[in-house]
Amino acid sequence: MQNTQQPVLRDIVLVGGGHSHVGVLRRFGMKPAPGIRLTLICRDTHTPYSGMLPGYVAGHYAYDDVHIDLRRLAEFAGARFLRTEATGIDRAGQQVICSDRPAIPYDRLSINIGSTPKLSNTGGAADHAVAVKPIHRFNDRWLALLERVRSTPGPMRIAVVGGGAGGVELLLAMQHRLRSELKALKQNPDLLAFALFTRGRTVLPTHAPNVQRRFARVLGERGVAVHCNAEVTGVDATGLTTVDGQHHHADEVVWVTRAGGAPWLRDTGLALDDSGFIQVTDTLQTVTDPNVFAAGDIASMVNHPREKAGVFAVRQGRPLARNLRLSLEDREPQPYRPQRHWLALISTGDQ
Please give the biggest Cα pair distance in the chain: 66
Measured CA to CA, the distance from residue 109 to residue 89 in angstroms comes to: 10
Q: What is the gyration radius of the CA atoms in the chain, in angstroms?
A: 22
Residue (of 142, 180, 148, 150) closest to 53 by Cα position: 142
Mean pLDDT of the chain: 92
pTM (whole model) above 0.95 = no
pLDDT at 344: 64
Q: Is the pLDDT assigned to residue 5 strictly greater than 90?
A: no
DSSP-derived letter for residue 248 is E
If 0-12 CB within 10 Å is exposed, 13-18 middle and 19+ buried, where does residue 71 land?
middle
Between 133 and 321, the more confident residue is 321
Could you tell me the sign of the dihedral formed by the alpha carbons of 320, 73, 261, 197, in that order? positive
With a CB cutoff of 8 Å and minimum separation 6, the contacts of 152 are none
Q: What is the per-residue pLDDT across 148-189, written as a single tens digit (0 to 9) for each? A: 999 988 899 999 999 998 999 999 999 999 999 999 999 999
| DSSP element (H, E) containing 86 | strand 86-90
In this model, does residue 3 exceed pLDDT 60?
Answer: no
What pLDDT is attached to residue 343?
A: 59
| Three-state DSSP string of 10-21 | EEEEEECCCHHH
Confidence category of residue 339, pLDDT binned at 50, 70, 90 = confident
Q: What is the pLDDT of residue 345?
A: 67
- Report the C-alpha gap between 346 and 167 in whole angstroms: 11
Output the pLDDT for position 256.
93
Task: Provide the percentage of residues in the chain whose pLDDT is more than 90.
Answer: 81
More confident residue, 311 or 248: 248
Cβ neighbours for 124, distance < 8 A, ≥ 6 positions apart: 234, 235, 236
Confidence of residue 239 (pLDDT cuts 50, 70, 90): very high
In sequence order, what are the beta bridge partners of 301? 280
Model pLDDT, residue 259: 84
| Of 116 and 319, more confident | 319
**Is the confidence at residue 86, as pLDDT, over 60?**
yes
Check residue 4 and give its pLDDT. 53
Instruction: Residue 291: count other Cβ atoms within 10 Å of its Cβ.
Output: 16
The model's pLDDT over 12-52, given as tens digits with 9 standing for 90+, comes to 999 999 999 999 999 999 999 999 999 999 999 999 888 88
Task: Tell me how far apart the alpha carbons of residues 166 and 15 are, in angstroms, rounded to a whole number.
Answer: 25
Q: pLDDT at position 245, please?
A: 96
**What domains lie within the chain, and their CATH numbers?**
10-116+260-328 (3.50.50.60), 119-255 (3.50.50.60)
Residue 255 has pLDDT above 70, yes or no: yes
Residue 309 pLDDT grade (very low, low, confident, very high; cuts 50, 70, 90)? confident
- pLDDT tier, 206 (very low <50, low <70, confident <90, very high otherwise): confident
- How far is CA 284 from each of CA 50, 153, 199, rounded to the nearest angstrom? 21, 50, 33
pLDDT at 351: 66
